[in-house]
Chain A
Amino acid sequence: MSTLMSGARMLVECLAREGVDCMFGYPGGVTLPFYDVLYDHQIRHILVRHEENAAFAAEGYARATGRVGVCCATSGPGATNLTTGLVDAMMDSIPIVAITGQVSTKLIGSDAFQEADTFGITRPCTKHNYLVKKLDDLGQAIHEAFYVAASGRPGPVLVDITKDVLQGQGHYQPVASVHLPGYKVFTEGHTGQIRRAAQLIQESARPLVYSGGGIIAAGATRELREFVELAGTPAVNTLMGLGGLPSSHPNFISLPGMHGSYAANMAMTNADLLIALGVRFDDRVTGRLAAFAPHAKVIHVDIDPAEIGKNRAPEVPIVGDVKRVLAKLNKLLSEAPPTDEKLSAARRAWWRQIRQWKEEHPLEVVKSDTEIKPQHLMGEIDRISGGDAIVSSDVGQHQMWAAQLIRFNEPRLWLNSGGLGSMGFGLPAAIGAQFAHPEKLVFAVVGDGGFQMSIPELATVASYGLPIKIVVMNNGYLGMVRQWQTLFYNNRLSAVELDCFPDAEKLAGAYGFKGRTIDKPWELAPALEEAVREPGPYLLNVKVSPLESVYPMVPAGGAINEMVLGPPQPVAAK
């Protein structure tokens, strides 16, 4: 049965059918018909203050839940403002659907007011995109968009809809199935390769699990845990994969890569078998590729065939859903005979070696009596969180310290812009996460740079009364860029000083919530506790020691075992 309705209503019906409960957006001229339907519909529309943040908030929602996040914007500038968030979701494989309005079909190509080639602009920013110029195509496009966004390797999908489609009247026929003949998703994994993988794992003396965002996207944390326990392997989690294995798990080492721990990078370099699960051998993890894991055979499991062999040719390639592949591997491993004594001894030596690396150079919470060290701040957030709070990070030094020092005992607690590294991500993503989990403690851990990119969203936080704890790690610099200038550009600090930062108490006060600035180490714990006790939003501006750098650090182009473990001899500031 079909009913006559407007395109705009059809769109909202489709969204409701896809289970959308809230969406993040900003209205405009061509989306007026859509907003008119939303006026009295049960789908909750969250008004952000900039379209880019609508995309980031949708990502935050998706990252925190695994469900598809939805954002919408008007034509022209509304759509172009979404693009950073779309690329961000593309890089981190986050399922979001973006709805944009387009000028009327007959005006397309005429340089009409607020016209932009959204379809063309967003082609490389999305997993797939649609331009809907006929009302009959609308339902199909929306349902396909949700299917494509969430299935296979997840990603952003944009649907651009002309105003005449939104205004037109048509019959809505619920779409029963999605038919995409060119869309291939391989989930099962090749049985023979899985068997070979199990064989290699059983023969390996120094195995290591290198797992990433794919574990979280696939919901495979339980399988991963079972796997590392069955196989008896240590595991590193990438920046995108934190929470894949609980930080408290005895087999967990920490994160590898440019700012990874000594133990993680040494383990990668010395392993004889790398079990790569839902990772893409990103340059920030591998360092100089030619010197990466030189002694290791590689088993690579990924749902995207194009990731396999892209950067490192694996001995055992497995295209499939990592959850299903791990389940099969676990079955094989649990049926396997126990390893012989010689191999067991080698495994014990491997574990001893890893424990020794951990003890030699642990990731430590550095403290001082006079100033707040950034690591101290992250240590305190970790203490309060206890591995259970959502931490939405921005991009830069604080992101690395947070990743190193805050524990995550579950997936979908650590939200950060990993691949694209978009500053301004932290606060809007926290907004999306808080809407998804109203009951959870959500920290937006941001730098003074990224925070100032997302200040407009304080209005969103205030107007919806979101109890987000915004913690600004304020060092007065664009710290990561400053760190590189210090280390690699003779400390010529160019355009990195953020010498003006608003008074946090007054700023938060202007929006009607509490804020405070602290700079003494003894103020830190009580101030954070006060922020968490506060039922509403809280802005805590923490002035930390300004010239601290993130270590360990692998210089660009270096091998990951060539870490710089601490600061060089002090250089006089300009």
Chain B
Amino acid sequence: MLQIISLLLENKPGALMRVTGLLSQRGYNIESLTVARTLDPEISRMTIVVDVETAQRQQVIKQMNKLINVLQATDLTDLPAVVRELVLVRIRTAQESRAAVLKEAEIFGGRVVDSSTEGFAIEVTGDPEKLGEFVDVMRSYGEIEATRSGAVVIALEAKRLRLQPPVPTRAGGSKVEEPVA
């Protein structure tokens, strides 16, 4: 099944490689991955969707949390969260179906970002499943090309929204916190 992981990681060289390397090393398939800076330029937020067996979900999170550059890895699959993705679709369509295409785009809350005699470029955001439907619909009108951004997610539980390191550290010493194992 698809697991949605939200990751806070230190913006250090090689941090991205550590995450993707770990996933392939442990045999997990990446469905999508996005990464960008947070409000704190030294910390990045990554959203990863991986295809794993349900029994392995906890193991994925635990392995992620072991990476030294990872500040926090959270499994948001079953938690209150908003998942969004963006798709850019170019469609080449005949004159007579232009109006229909625009109508469909509107239904999906799309925005035309380019228009030419050949067709349109349309931008849609939504949850990944909806975008799949949109792409299917567009395909029925003509030749298309689509680029998806991959999912981004934000947790709706206040306590999960943190940009601070999750564990208080004692300089030079080990960190002491009891995990709920």
Give A515 to B175 CA distance when docked, in angstroms: 52
Asked whether B179 lies within 8 Å of A120 as measured between CB atoms, the reply is: no
Considering only CB atoms, which chain A residue lies closest to B177 in the complex?
Answer: A186
Q: Which parts of B148-163 form the interface with A (CB within 8 Å)?
A: none
Instruction: Enumerate chain A residues within 8 angstroms of B107, measured Cβ to Cβ.
Output: none
Q: How far is the CA of A319 from the CA of B181 in the complex (A)?
A: 7
Q: With A and B bound together, what is the CA distance between A148 and B68 in angstroms?
A: 9
A124 touches B21 (CB 8 A): yes
Please, which residues of chain B bring their CB within 8 A of the CB of A131? Answer: 13-14
Report if B66 contacts A (CB, 8 A).
yes
List A contacts of B166 (CB < 8 A): 184
A188 touches B178 (CB 8 A): yes
A382, chain B: closest CB distance, angstroms: 39
Q: Which residues of B sit under 8 angstroms from A488, Cβ to Cβ?
A: none
* B contact residues around A317 at 8 Å (CB): 181
Stretch of A174-182, A336-344, A476-484, A494-502 contacting B (4+ beta carbons < 8 Å): A174-182
Tell me whether A119 and B68 are in contact (CB under 8 A).
Answer: no
Residue A187 is within 8 A (CB to CB) of chain B in the complex: yes
Interface segment out of the listed A302-310, A353-361, A411-419? A302-310
Flag if A184 contacts B178 (CB, 8 Å).
no
Quote the shortest CB–CB distance from B116 to chain A (angstroms). Answer: 40
How many chain B residues touch A (Cβ–Cβ < 8 Å)? 35
**Cα distance, A131 to B69, chains bound together (Å):** 14
Distance in angstroms from B151 CB to nearest chain A CB is: 23
Q: Are B21 and A181 in contact (CB under 8 A)?
A: no
Q: Is A152 an interface residue (CB 8 A)?
A: yes
Interface centre among B68, B70, B177 (most CB of A within 10 A): B68
Asked if A190 meets B177 with Cβ closer than 8 Å, knowing A176-B172, A182-B70, A184-B65, the reply is no
Determine the interface band of chain A, counting residues with CB < 8 A from chain B.
35 or more
Q: Mark B3-43, 1 if CB is under 8 A from A, else 0.
A: 00000011001100110011001000000000000000000
Taking a contact as CB atoms closer than 8 A, the residue among B9, B17, B179 that contacts A319 in the complex is B179
**Given A182-B10, A186-B179, do A124 and B25 touch, yes or no (CB 8 Å)?**
yes
Nearest A residue to B65 via CB reads: A184
List residues of chain B with CB within 8 A of the CB of A305. 62, 65-66, 179, 181
Secondary structure type dominating chain B contacts: loop
A218 → B minimal CB distance (Å)? 13
- Tell me whether B63 is interfacial, beta carbon within 8 Å: yes
The answer to whether A193 and B181 touch (CB under 8 A), given A181-B10, A182-B67, is yes
A312: shortest Cβ distance to chain B, in Å? Answer: 12
Task: Name the residue in A184, A187, A308 with the highest tally of chain B Cβ atoms < 10 Å from its Cβ.
Answer: A184
What residues of B have a CB within 8 angstroms of the CB of A178 in the complex? 171-172
Q: Assess the B18–A185 pair: CB atoms within 8 A.
A: no
Tell me if A123 is interfacial: C-beta within 8 Å of chain B. yes
Is B58's CB within 8 Å of the partner chain A? Answer: yes
- Which residue of the partner chain B has the closest CB to A182? B71
B169 smallest CB distance to A (angstroms): 6
Q: Is the CB of B14 within 8 A of A181?
A: no
Q: Which residues of B sit under 8 angstroms from A306, Cβ to Cβ?
A: 59, 62-63, 65-66
Q: Does B100 count as interface, using CB distance less than 8 angstroms?
A: no
Judged by a CB distance under 8 angstroms, whether B176 is at the interface is yes
Chain B min CB distance to A188 (Å)? 6
Q: Knowing A128-B68, A177-B171, A180-B169, say if A123 contacts B178 (CB, 8 Å).
A: no
**A73 near B: Cβ within 8 Å?**
no
Confirm or deny: B165 has a beta carbon within 8 angstroms of a beta carbon on chain A. Answer: yes
Q: Is B54 an interface residue (CB 8 A)?
A: no
The interface bits of chain A over 302-329 (1 if a CB of B lies within 8 angstroms of the residue's CB, else 0) are: 0011101110000001110000000000
- A463 touches B (CB below 8 Å): no
Q: Which residues of A are found within 8 Å of B22, using beta-carbon distances?
A: 124
Residues of chain A within 8 A (CB-CB) of B171 are: 176-179
Closest Cβ–Cβ distance, residue B17 to chain A (whole Å): 6
Instruction: State whether A123 and B179 are in contact (beta carbons under 8 Å apart), knowing that A177-B172, A304-B66, A305-B65 are contacts in the complex.
Output: no
A-B pairs with beta carbons under 8 Å apart, 27 shown: A123-B14, A123-B18, A124-B21, A128-B68, A176-B171, A177-B171, A179-B169, A181-B71, A181-B167, A182-B9, A182-B68, A182-B70, A182-B72, A183-B68, A184-B175, A184-B177, A186-B176, A186-B179, A187-B176, A189-B178, A191-B178, A193-B181, A305-B62, A306-B63, A308-B181, A309-B59, A318-B181
Chain B contact residues, CB within 8 Å of chain A: 9-10, 13-14, 17-18, 21-22, 25, 58-59, 62-63, 65-72, 165-167, 169, 171-172, 174-181
Chain A residues engaging chain B, CB cutoff 8 angstroms: 119-120, 123-124, 127-129, 131, 147-148, 151-152, 176-191, 193, 304-306, 308-310, 317-319
